[in-house]
Every structure is written in C-alpha cells, then in structure tokens.
Amino acid sequence: MQTRIAGEIIAIGDELTCGRVANSTSRLAARELFLLGYDFAVMQCIGDNPELIGATLRTAISRADFVLVTGGLGSTDDDLTTAAAARALGLKTVSHPVLEARLRDYLAAQGREGDFARFARFAVLPEGAEPLDLQGRMAGYLLEYQGKPLWFLPGVPSQMAILLSEKLIPELTRRFPQPPVRQHLYHSIGLPELDINARLKPLEGRPGLQIGYYPVDAAVDVSLTVRTENAVQNAQLFTEADTLIRSALGATLFGENSDTLPECLGRLLEQRGLRLVLAESCTGGLIASSLTAIPGSSHWFEGGVVVYSNRLKEQLLGVPAALLADFGAVSKECATALAKGALAHLGGDLALAVTGIAGPSGGSPEKPVGTIFLGLAAQGLDTPQVQRLSLHGSRQEIQQQTMQRALDMLRHFLAHS
C-alpha cells in the first residue's frame, strides 16, 4: 500500500500553551483529514513566540507533505503568526490588494476611513499567499513554499471549521488524491458501546478495515473506514462490513454520517406532515433549542413551554395542583399530565413532555438525581406513553442524555405508528 500523505499541525497561541483554552481546532482537522486518508504525524501547540513559530514551521516543512497552521492571524498585537512565518521563510509581507480594498470599502461604509491604519494588518500576508476568503470576513490563506502547501487558518474554531471544509479539504484532496478510502458513520442510540463492540467482533483485525466507537452522551457513533489498494476490494469489504453493522445496530440505528437525531426526527415529522409541541421541565428548553437549531424546523415544530415552576405547569398546561401535591412534579403521573396538557393547550399532532431531576441537588432516596420521566401524547392515542429513566453524570450530561432519549422515544413511536 503506497506511503500515505502526512501533514503536520501547528496551533499557535499562549491561550493554548497555558491551558486556558482547549485546542479543539487541531483535533477537528486531524479527525476530518484522517477520515479522508491523510495522517498527521505530529501535532504541535506553541505560544505566541516569533522565533519558536519560525523554527517550528521550518521543521514541519522539512518533514511533512503539507502544513496546517492555526491561530495568531487576527489584528491585535498578540497576533504574530504572519510576520513570524514570513521572516522564517525569508518572504516579504505585502498588503493584499483585494483584502485591502474590501477593508477600505468596509470602513468607508461606516465613515471610518481614518481607522484604516489600525486594521491594516488584516490585509497583510506573506508575499505569494492567497487569501482563502476574498470577502475578508475571515483571516486565513494558502502559501505555496518549496512546492508544499502551507495553510494558515484562524484560531477561532467556527471560522477554522468553515475554511477547513470549504477551502483546505477540496484543495488538499485535489493535490494529493489518496488511495480510495470509504468512510461511513453510523449513529446509534440505546445500545451500550461494549455490546456493539461484541457484535462487531467478526470485523476485527481485517486488513484495510477500521472500526471506531465514539460515545456521544446517550448515543454511540460507530465509524467504518475501509482503505485498500483498489476500489473493487474497497467496495466488497465495505458492503460486507456495512451489512454486519446494520444488522448489529438494528432499530438503534437512527442516522448516518452527518445526520443528527434532531434532524432525523425532523425529517420523519415532515414526511408525515406532523407538528410537534413540547413541555419541558428539567431540560429547560434544551430539546426545543436542539430542534430549532435546524433550518426549516418551523415546518414541523410548533413550539413549546418551559414549565420550570409548578405554577406554570398548572397555569400553562392545566396540570392539576392535586396531582402535583400527591405524586410530585417528578412522576409518571406528571409526565402524563404534561404531555396531555401540551397537546390540549399548545395544539399540534404530537406532544413530548419531560420532567425529572437534573441535579446536582433535589434528589431523594426514592427519586435520586437523574430520575427522569418522559411523556408522549399524540392525537388518536388514548393514553400517553411514559418512560422512566435513571441517568448519571453532571447536570448538563443528564440534560443532554434526557434530550436524546426523549427524541429517540418519539423516533420509535413514529417508526411503529
């Protein structure tokens, strides 16, 4: 099998070397490129030190097929990457005409021509570098040096992620086509990682085949990577593994590749022309927020209530005060009443309700932190479905898992109705 293309990552910033900020961008790049067939032999994190930036860059160029540098491209005084890189490579820095024009237009539009000097370094690149975003909304450029591509991306994770997928990856795959790699991601919920692992034992140690397991709150992602000499081998191996994985995961498989549980649920609802409403207590809006993060969610999501206080449970959804007094807000009875009440008071075709104890306080021997009740009511369903969960973890972890389990409850209901 031919030698693989190997890159190096250099993440720059004192905020990283002092441990104040987690270096999430290097991990993102490593993960994305690995799945495309590229290795990172070395990932380095260094501070805002021009000499060290230069030396590290030169070493990386001498070893790697390509280099990714992140951070230090802003226009504040601790942004030293461009100057240091240019010096280390014996290049001049020049103001890029297009970026400079954009900047002048931008300032002019705000009547701030006078500020140009303060922002000028935004447009300054090593000579020969090509900006990745000609609109100048994000810093970042590609510099060709001794025939090797050096990508300089911003340290801001959201911007880095955009330029990685829209600029770096297309260009990298064009320059260094890799032996055919086929990679598929399976999203599963309800089956523990170890059980999946046991079911997939037959795939272990098969040459050219890699299986990875990534628990994500209550879900588990299974990644299948097939990388062999040729496309025919790839296809055979992939089909074989794919078939086994699908049968192993069965109904716990909710999505693939970039799918998310909220998106999959949204598609199901839209296909059926059903509209969902929510009554959230302990998740406090997290479920609504995960659904409304999806463009077009207004087609199938009507809205919801965050009935954090008992008063609002009674007032907005008509949960009887007596019920709350007798069984408590964290109870099968309350979950049922919340789901019924949401359907009655908010409308919609389906209502999902959540009540429980996310902690850290509020637990009791018979209802410890992590005790959650899910309720599901639907038009034409006589009595709401109810599930009791016993979850573990921090408040946020319990809220996240509750969100996933609630959406999965609805997913199963839709699958079997």
Residue placing its CB nearer to a second copy in the complex, 342 or 376: 342
Q: What is the largest distance, in Å, between two alpha-carbon atoms of the chain? A: 79
Instruction: Considering only residues 203 through 242, tell me which ones interact with a second copy, judged by CB under 8 A.
Output: 204, 210-215, 223, 225
The two beta strands, 219-227 and 209-216, are: antiparallel
> Is residue 190 close enough to count as binding a second copy by CB under 8 A?
no
H or E element, residue 326: helix 321-327
Stretch 235-274: interaction string toward a second copy, x if CB under 8 A: ----------------------------------------
Query: How far, in Å, CA of 277 to CA of 273, rounded?
Result: 14
Residue placing its CB nearer to a second copy in the complex, 250 or 360: 360
Q: Which stretch binds a second copy (CB under 8 A): 80-88, 124-132, 231-239, 275-283?
A: 275-283
Residue placing its CB nearer to a second copy in the complex, 127 or 137: 137
The two beta strands, 130-131 and 141-145, are: antiparallel
> Is residue 363 close enough to count as binding a second copy by CB under 8 A?
no
CB distance 205 to 177 below 8 Å:
no
Residue placing its CB nearer to a second copy in the complex, 44 or 91: 44
Amino acid residing at 396 = Q
Q: Using CB under 8 A, which of 81, 188, 228, 297 touches a second copy?
A: 297
Residue placing its CB nearer to a second copy in the complex, 51 or 127: 51
Residue placing its CB nearer to a second copy in the complex, 19 or 365: 19
Residue placing its CB nearer to a second copy in the complex, 128 or 208: 208
Q: Using CB under 8 A, which of 116, 308, 327, 413 touches a second copy?
A: 308
Please report how close the Cβ of residue 281 comes to a second copy at its closest, in angstroms: 9
> Is residue 287 close enough to count as binding a second copy by CB under 8 A?
yes
Q: Which of 278, 322, 320, 324 is nearest to 297 (CA)?
A: 278
Q: Tokens 């994000």: give the residue.
A: 138
Q: Using CB under 8 A, which of 90, 147, 273, 296 touches a second copy?
A: 296
Under DSSP, the state recorded for 299 is G
Residues facing residue 277 across a β-bridge: 303, 351
Residue placing its CB nearer to a second copy in the complex, 55 or 91: 55
Residue placing its CB nearer to a second copy in the complex, 293 or 415: 293
Q: Burial, 320: exposed, middle or buried (Cβ in 10 Å; 0-12, 13-18, 19+)?
A: middle
Q: Which stretch binds a second copy (CB under 8 A): 88-96, 282-290, 319-327, 376-384?
A: 282-290
Amino acid residing at 231 = A
Query: How far, in Å, CA of 209 to CA of 224, rounded?
Result: 7
Query: How far, in Å, CA of 305 to CA of 317, rounded?
Result: 9
1, two tokens: 């099998």
Q: Which stretch binds a second copy (CB under 8 A): 24-32, 86-94, 168-176, 233-241?
A: 24-32
Site size toward a second copy, by CB under 8 A: 96
Residue placing its CB nearer to a second copy in the complex, 5 or 307: 307
Instruction: Considering only residues 36 through 65, tell me which ones interact with a second copy, judged by CB under 8 A.
Output: 39-47, 49, 52, 56
Instruction: Considering only residues 78 through 107, tell me which ones interact with a second copy, judged by CB under 8 A.
Output: 78
DSSP per position, 69-101: EES--SSSTT--HHHHHHHHTT--EEE-HHHHH
Please report how close the Cβ of residue 56 comes to a second copy at its closest, in angstroms: 7
Q: Which stretch binds a second copy (CB under 8 A): 91-99, 168-176, 247-255, 387-395?
A: 387-395
* HSE (side-chain half, CA atoms, 13 Å) at 168: 30
Q: Which stretch binds a second copy (CB under 8 A): 91-99, 230-238, 333-341, 358-366?
A: 358-366
Under DSSP, the state recorded for 178 is P
CB distance 274 to 415 below 8 Å:
no
Q: Using CB under 8 A, which of 15, 240, 256, 314 touches a second copy?
A: 15
Please report how close the Cβ of residue 269 comes to a second copy at its closest, in angstroms: 13
Under DSSP, the state recorded for 36 is T
Query: How far, in Å, CA of 373 to CA of 354, rounded?
Result: 6
> Is residue 156 close enough to count as binding a second copy by CB under 8 A?
yes
Please report how close the Cβ of residue 27 comes to a second copy at its closest, in angstroms: 5
The two beta strands, 371-378 and 385-390, are: antiparallel
298, two tokens: 């207004």
Determine the 3-state secondary structure of 136 from DSSP.
coil
